[in-house]
Amino acid sequence: MFDLAFRALIHGLYFFALACLIKLLRALWKRPFPTNAPKLVSGYPVVGALQFFFTQNEFCRSSKANSPTGNYSYYLGQHQVIGLCGTQGRKTFFESRDLDLGQGASLLVPFVNLVENPQDPSVDTHLSHLHYIFRTRLLRTQSLQFIPAAIEMCTTATLNRITDKGLIDPFQEMTLFYAQSTMAVMGVSEVALSPELSSKVSKLFGAMDGTFHVSDMAIPWLLNPLHIPTLISLGQLWVMLWQIISKQRKLGQQKQPSTRDPAKENMLQDMIEKGWSTRAIFKANSPTVASWILMWLTTDPQWMARVRQEIEQVIDKHREKGEPAEDVLRSLHVNTWEHEFPLLRACMLEAVRLVVTLVLIRKNISAVDIPIGNTGEVIPPGTYVTYDAREVTRDPNVYPDPQRWDPGRFLPDREEHLKEVLASTGFGGGRHKCRECVSPGHCRSGLTRL
């Protein structure tokens, strides 16, 4: 019996070593770029452009400087990648319909397509399907009206917690509020109403940040021991939400349609009734920017006073019969929040400009070359494309004194972000708007901080 087990172990190690060898040989071979691709940046065997992983900003700047057009080609492992720069590169990156967000993210976030086949848009876990559902359920209906009421208890609990503590860590408090409010909007009340479960969910999401390692270029992620903590966190989160979804599904089956209260319906119950799979519901679920806004306002008395005055003016405008300020804010329509707080919006855009220092990534999912403006260069089919947002968000010709926090840049009398095409590359820029930011350093739609 012992000999049999020993032989099985030896054979297992043999096949593991063989798999690693095959993977290494495949990594050593790289599909060549076409002659009309941007200039190639030299790299190392197997891993390719190693500098990209460690000094990302310097890699992008030096590669741009050494290319006649500013665009450049490089390898990450055996994957072809093209870095885009300048106005034409930026327009191509943000406006091309054939550059896909979800499949782009799969290069640097190996778990992004774990529960779906990215090539099959018919399944309910596919990004395009989820985007359509959420647009029709939220953005193109009156369903957004339920959000203030849904997150009211979370907001009140957060404010009470901040009041009790006095001195707070805004990143910790905003992360917890983000987890609670997200679950409240989704209808996962068991998590939204429990500080303990909300804290656990926020920690599990945080544990899945930064899952990409240089070793992924040579070792399949399923065999990479560095991913074990992430797999454990992913499994714990899956089990927790699967239990909640199963409970909701059973309760929904027990109710008669005539006994349901439309005012208490939620997105989770709606998805269950429409037959969504557990995988789709799970996949449908950044406090960092909000945390930095709090810190900058605290250290800038002038802007703090202006923002407070704006809030007071909105309260006075919508107040009825001497209502307390907190009741007025609770009753505001979503359109009011979106259109009557221009100073708060300017603060958010400026925080995004300074905080979200990302390399954005997409993939050419078409079967043809995509021209890069009129440079004569192209993006071949199946090639990944990156764009360093710092190129424009830290450009002093667009944003004078770019390291300084100044929300006035985005107000009508200055509008510095309109000096260049797509000069504001934060969430919502370009043809593909970001709807999937899930945690402080990571966004599933292809924005990844390394």
Asked if residue 141 has pLDDT above 80, the reply is: no
Residue 288 lies in a domain: no
Q: Exposure of 243 by Cβ count < 10 A (0-12 exposed, 13-18 middle, 19+ buried)? A: exposed
pLDDT at residue 382 in the model: 92
Given pLDDT bands bounded at 50, 70 and 90, which one contains residue 331?
Answer: confident
Residue 173 lies in a domain: yes
Residue 38 lies in a domain: no
What's the structural domain count of the chain?
1
Say which residue, 273 or 342, is predicted with more confidence: 342
- Tell me 44's DSSP state: B
How far is residue 77's CA from residue 61's CA, in Å, rounded to a whole number?
A: 21
Residue 97 lies in a domain: no
Residue 108 lies in a domain: no
Say which residue, 331 or 75, is predicted with more confidence: 75
How far is residue 55's CA from residue 142's CA, in Å, rounded to a whole number?
A: 46
Q: Which domain holds residue 194?
A: 121-219+228-277
Say how many CA atoms lie within 13 Å of 304 toward its Cβ: 8
pLDDT at residue 425 in the model: 75
Mean pLDDT of the chain: 76
pLDDT at residue 445 in the model: 34
Residue 137 lies in a domain: yes
If DSSP codes are grouped into helix, strand and coil, which group holds residue 82? strand
Residue 346 lies in a domain: no
pTM: predicted TM-score of the whole model, two decimal places: 0.72
Q: Which two tokens stand for residue 11?
A: 């054979």
Residue 408 lies in a domain: no
Asked if residue 241 has pLDDT above 50, the reply is: yes
Residue with tokens 């990648």: 81
How far is residue 33's CA from residue 39's CA, in Å, rounded to a whole number?
A: 9
Ligand-binding site membership of 434 (annotated):
yes
**Start-to-end Cα distance in the chain:** 48
